Structure 1
Amino acid sequence: MPQISATAFVPASAAELRQIAREGIGLPTLAPHVLEVEPQSDGTARWSVLLNGSRVGWTQREATTSGQRLVFTQTQGDFDSLAVTWTFAPDCAGTWVGLNIAFHLGIDGLAPLLDPIWAQSLRAHADLLLSALASAKEPNDHN
């Protein structure tokens, strides 16, 4: 299964960043490619984003929470499978945030052609999410 990883330093506490990543609620206003993050009554969250110029959606459930780690897995959506792992490593001036996305498109015959394209799009998605977290928690932010 292809995977991408991205990291960024954010001048905020791990607890604050973990809450934003867990809920995802404010991300559509901070990352324009995120069209919607809608919590569902069953504890899942439905995501809709623009990737490769197309609307892509999935519903994810929090699979694992341990210490400074959040893991979400797709329960339904446009990918055959999708797993998202956030890590939070506190530092004296903030937090190192890592985002790993593992995916499978389910189109095995075209995987050599499509996987690199989708990996590039998901890498851009991860970078934009990390930038959104950083902008949400800039030092002069009074929220």
Structure 2
Amino acid sequence: MPEISATAFVPAPAAELRQIVREGTGLPTLAPHVLEVEPQSDGSTRWSVLLNGSRVGWTQREATGSDQRLVFAQTQGDFDSLAVTWTFAPDCTGTLVGLSIAFHLGIDGLAPLLDPIWAQSLRAHADLLLSALAPAKETP
């Protein structure tokens, strides 16, 4: 299963960033490519984002969590499988935030062609999410 990873230093406390990521609902105002993050009645969250100009969606549920790590797994959506891991490493001036996304498209015959394209799109998605967290502390 292909996996991409990205990290960024964010000048905000880890607990605040973790809460923003866990709730997710403020992310569309921070990252314009995130069209919608909507909590569902069963405790999952439905995401809709633009990747390479196409609307892609999935529903995810928190699989595990701690003060320094959140793991989400897709329960349904456009990927055959999707696993998202956020890490939060605090220091005295902010937090090193990591985001890893592992995915499987479910189109094995075309994987050699499609996986690199989707990996690049998901890497851009991760970079945009991480950069969007920097001003998150200033958002009401």
Which runs of no fewer than 5 residues in structure 1 stay unpaired?
139-143
Secondary structure of the 2:72 match is: strand
Deviations 1:55-114 (A, max 9, x none): 000000000012310000000000000000000000110000000000000000000000
Report the counterpart of residue 37 of structure 1 in structure 2: 37
- Counterparts of 1:36 and 1:51 in 2: how far apart (Å)? 13
| Contact preservation (8 Å) 1:34, 1:48 | yes
| Contact preservation (8 Å) 2:15, 2:67 | no
| Contact preservation (8 Å) 2:81, 2:103 | yes
- Counterparts of 1:11 and 1:134 in 2: how far apart (Å)? 7
Under a length normalisation based on structure 2, what TM-score does the superposition of the two structures give?
0.97
Report the counterpart of residue 95 of structure 1 in structure 2: 95
| Contact preservation (8 Å) 1:10, 1:137 | no
How many correspondences in the alignment?
138
The structure 1 segments of at least 4 consecutive aligned residues displaced by more than 4 Å after TM superposition are none
Say what the alpha-carbon RMSD is for the aligned residues. Answer: 0.8
Identity %: 91
Which runs of no fewer than 5 residues in structure 2 stay unpaired?
none
- Counterparts of 1:115 and 1:132 in 2: how far apart (Å)? 25
